[in-house]
Structure 1
């Protein structure tokens, strides 16, 4: 995996590079000392993984995440403070490491990047082939299988490197990241509303504004989905006359 280290402290960036030398599956392709440099490098290098500090001068780590175009790389937070741990996992971070980073904890975090053996079933192959609205896909759990129309999928929700797929009153857990599934889904039908959710636009029955500048989508059946301010702007540009 191609990684970018984002931290305002040069010593912290150097230490992370040193620790990652023991993990040849991770290639550090660059480092940034602030959010502006990080955004430029993300656009230029396309990293798969960010080692991200939270407390930085100017724009902090969470604010940086709100500025990164979707799909956002995987995130491992590295910070000297534990006060933001809950919020870190709310934005679907892989892990939250406290400085100075313990080598064993880093190894544990990197293990979370790999699929968990025996806990989920793979999605239909080949993953590179784009799907059409008229296609059917094989979705299955441990006891049952469905050949479900793509248009019947109304919500996809990330769970780490896994994705819950909701369709026709059922839900299955796939051993696939939301990002990889997004590449297959028809863009005319599905919209990435946040880092952790994709909705079927045909399942939307009501659209409302939120106090934060984002939007609320009410889906058939009553499920309410929040759209961030940034994605609400994208949504309006695509859907307004």
Structure 2
């Protein structure tokens, strides 16, 4: 199970060391790194949820403990990476899911990731068991429309509404694409490929350069902002000779 993550640390060498460790773990996908918690928060507010945030504690302007309330809203697991043991109690109070001491060893890092991965799989299983479908409000008062996740081909943000395109037609909701993405983010088959489109990989036929071609004949542009993560996902799932 692949978990997305970001790194926050104001020391470049610490970012490099942690990035190298992440690169050695197949279950992790590093989306971005930040030298300032404020920039990381701005990124999360724009792009949405990630699975793990690895954050330093002692940073200028806004430290990791002070940022915890906001960071926890955008991740499943908040893991502090620090050189100071004395922060352990504060980290516990900030509802951290891990506490790694610098310099971080490969063994301690992989053990923590394995522990989080087990918890992550439990979260996904629970969500899948409980959420095989969603309801959106219909056009009439007190009317609701049931949509199975397995029938969704792609979701498209329009001017002030979102269209959910399914195998049987399409439905309109006024839920924003970001909120929809947060709802779907634990389900492996859904992938946001540009600022307006979330596709279901179940109905992805092929990818030609920057174009995702769907089984229903529709084609969608892969945005530059989302391209690297999407292509990395495809590479990891491509058979190699």
Q: Which has the higher helix share?
A: 2
TM-score, scaled to structure 1:
0.48
